[in-house]
Homo-oligomer: A and B are copies of this chain.
Amino acid sequence: MRNLGFYDKINEQIIVSKDVSDLRILGLDPGIAIVGFGVIEAQRGQFHSLTYGAIRTEAGLPLSERLEIIYNDLNQLLDSLRPEAVAVEELFFNTNITTGISVAHGRGILLLACRQKGIPIYEYTPLQVKQSVVGYGRAEKKQIMEMVRRMLHLTEIPRPDDAADALAIALCHGRAATSLLFQAGEKSQCSTI
């Protein structure tokens, strides 16, 4: 992982290395049928998209087989894209608990695969993602999608929605990680899991 700068305890100031904002981030939107992913690079305060898409598993397959597909496909992605940080959305279930349980199974697989590769993992709530990307915690899905398109200088909104969500999560971490506060060890907006 490239040096992101460090906090000089003696002089109480932040030492920023040249490539401080040069960071490759993988955003992941957990699921079982579809896992959205999006890789961005943060360079000198600007973000651009390297690739995005989705890992898909068929509905009729046993849960264990779907989990294995997600694990294998994510490992391929990690090997080929070599992200330096992974940002994953936190789960909240107020509506469908059955779906929530299977999504949590899948999210466990994402965390395991990233952990096994030694990639730092950060989690963000949907509220944090909205606040970071749109600047408003109650932003609508359309607004988030449009901001993702603009921030990444894309001509169209990324499809599927799960990939756009994953890019939004990556952007959320990109903003937190390249802020001086974050580099000084202030992690109010993110946590390793």
Contact = CB atoms under 8 A, between A and B. Distances in A.
Interface in A91-130: 91, 93, 97, 100-102, 104-109, 111-112, 114-116, 121
A65 interface: yes
Bin the interface of chain A by size. 20 to 34
A12 B109 CA distance: 43
A64 interface: yes
A68 interface: yes
A106 B186 CA distance: 29
A67 B101 contact: no
A28 B126 CA distance: 33
Interface string A66-107: 011001000000000000000000010100010011101111
Contacts of A109: 108-109, 112
A101 B91 contact: yes
Contacts of A121: 62, 64
Interface of A: 62-65, 67-68, 71, 91, 93, 97, 100-102, 104-109, 111-112, 114-116, 121, 192-193
